[in-house]
Structure 1
């Protein structure tokens, strides 16, 4: 990193709520926010937005006639972006860049329009312009009247951290001084859930989720977990639980964005002091390598100028799948050896929010730095407690092993 990058605000809409104090209070609780919902008459685990945030989305639809036709991925991102920009003290019309993406894009509208097409052979006039991925950054730019570059992308589950990576490149090049970054995802639709079940990675309310083959050697030797049968009822997504025998991924919905600026800043919630990225050689359409070489490379790059013993915690990607959790942990072992930081994930609480998940990981890291309190996994005993939190590493990876690691510090 040539210069530090200040995170001057971070805003989110998620099952945790949207206000920082409430979000922190939710993290202090050991209760999961995952529940059972009905999709097309079928009961599924999911983590949904609180009702008050649903009302806010509905109100935005009524605020401007043009917004009525937009997908929830766009509407959630607009609301989060308004909040982040206000917190950072940016004003309407400022020259700041926008890079906000999504893994799946406009899933709700796309499924609605496709269903209508199958039934009638016709589709609505606005089908194409309202289901393109570029909608997110473009509509946020319209809403905030920004005059910088507008970028939307999908790099599956590492989308939000790739937005951070891209913004850092713009900022350090001198081509921009401010960037709004993040991800938005509204994946709780019948077809998206069916896709996850087809991969045999989704947790089932009846406990019948199928497993995939995984080498579970070299896992956490000193962590003690509750019995699996108890966890499956109390915590449907058992992310980073190596006693589980089945995949337990659960989806959640969220939008999360941050404001980034160059150099020291009195408003900074924290600073990005290291960035890393890498991609595995593809062995399978969805997999990463057995020891997550992509994570090994991305973490090593992010930690290039930081002694390993100064990394106090890692917010892992850890989606609750057998191979995903195990391979990431093996990668962490390869990098840190016997000096492991404290390890955590938020998937057990809010599910996997796909393209928004990396930014929610960053949010958790910033809150832990602010309150100097480590939020662990309630069913896993932390074997490596640290007396303070100075530097926290955040991981995210998407289908095909496209990993990003971001190092943040309070200073």
Structure 2
């Protein structure tokens, strides 16, 4: 079947490194850590006391105070990033067909902060149910794309994707396919997550999934380092505007790059651990290349899932070597979670933005916090340790994997007319 080409025409993001695209990218290129002690609640009794928070975010810059109180933080981030992206793309109610423009956003957990607050408030009482009428509408995952569509009168496809840490990459793939098949002309896509709370930190601590390096949070996220001890929790909202090439050209839009393809697979192995040989990760990269009509030799950079967990990092690298063979040694590989932390359902979106910017600027952001080589990782691979590297990036691949064995990968490449 003949499918349409799809390009990126707008970007918006709020991240632990900055609350707009320029600040986020500068933070990545300069190897800045977004980790610090938690400010959103008193974490003094928790095993992990730090995280990568979005700093200095004021939702009233995007909505009035009354509306902000009715919306969970994860939705606030999605709205803010969407406003940025639509503005960046030069889109407004006067130059769009609302029936041909949709919203697909991903989140792994959604309104956990709202859920925690309402349940804890109930627990303080005498058992009489006194819940906010906004409890459910604030909490549910689909409310973020719902709010974005209502805010901008976008009446095309509208829903959420949920696949743990792969959620927003799945959202981007879904949006890509809707455009390819002619179901829409423009899609607002990406994702958001905001679960830095007692429940979020406590829950992941109980799984022993997070770093407990409280004496040095800035260096706690150490993908591919021998002494890595788990991921650092992050939060973010990141939105990209995808548009059919013909529609973008017709309106004279700025084009960042082309989205070449994407794919999804399952490990079918374990609820939290990756397949030890990275078979699901291997398959998703192969299928993404097939979907893009590209060979492995055409990829220059891989933004890895690279969470800084002992098992996950090794499994993904095994998969890369199996897929790319000798070309693996020509690639730049980096894990930007070393700077942003792991933003869960928003990880795929902010890492897609990093991949897009690498293609636009021909710079590979680093994997920071590398101190000691891991003997289980091939030292001849270029992990872009500690310092960004300039190189031509014609095409970049971004991996995201989620609890439950969900794998998703997308490929972006330079736009050539």
What TM-score, normalized by structure 1, do the two folds share? 0.87
Q: 2:114 aligns with which of 109, 113, 117?
A: 109
Deviation, 1:259, is: 0.6
- Aligned 8 A contact 2:52 2:341 in 1: yes
Q: Does 1:314 align with 2:281?
A: no
- Aligned to 1:337, the other structure's residue is in SS state helix
SS of corresponding position for 2:220: coil
1:98 shift after superposition: 0.4
Deviation at 1:37, TM superposition (A): 2.0
SS at match of 1:6: strand
How far, CA to CA, are the matches of 2:393 and 2:132 in structure 1?
A: 52
Instruction: Return the offset for 1:383.
Output: 4.3
Q: Structure 1, residues 105-155: CA drift from partner, whole Å, max 9, x if none?
A: 001111100101111232222222221112111111111111212102311
In structure 2, the partner of 1:186 is 194
| Aligned residue in 1 for 2:271 | 285
Q: State the Cα distance separating 1:233 from its structure 2 match.
A: 6.2
Q: Which of 405, 408, 411 is residue 412 of structure 2 equivalent to?
A: 408
2:327 is matched with which residue: 333, 336, 339? 339
Contact 1:61-1:68 within 8 A present in 2 as well: no
Partner of 1:40: 42
The aligned runs of 1:301-380 (5 Å cut-off) are 301-304=287-290, 305-340=293-328, 341-380=331-370
3-state SS of paired residue (2:404): coil
Q: 1:15 to 1:273 in 2, by over 3 A?
A: same
Structure 1 41/35 Cα, relative in aligned 2: closer, same or farther at 3 Å?
closer
Provide the C-alpha distance between the structure 2 equivalents of 1:332 and 1:355, rounded to a whole number of angstroms. Answer: 23
Q: 5+ residue gaps in structure 2?
A: 371-378, 383-388
Moved more, 81-90 or 311-320: 81-90
Shift of 1:20: 2.6
State the TM-score, normalizing by the size of structure 2: 0.86
| 1:136–1:382 CA distance, 2 compared to 1 (3 A) | farther
Runs of 4+ in 1 over 6 A off after TM superposition: none
1:126 matched to 2:134? The reply is yes
The verdict on how the C-alpha distance between 1:94 and 1:272 changes in structure 2, with shifts beyond 3 A counting, is: same
Unaligned regions of 5+ residues in structure 1, if any? 208-231
Q: Tell me if structure 2 keeps the 8 A contact 1:14–1:254.
A: yes
Give 1:189 shift: 0.5
- Offset, 1:395: 0.5
After superposition, the C-alpha distances for 1:277-326 in whole angstroms (9 at most, x for unaligned) are 111113x2212211221111110011122122221110001111111111
Match of 1:135 among 136, 139, 143: 143
CA deviation after TM superposition for structure 1 residue 206, in Å = 4.3
- In 2, the alpha carbon distance for the partners of 1:368 and 1:89 equals 22
Q: CA RMSD in A?
A: 2.0
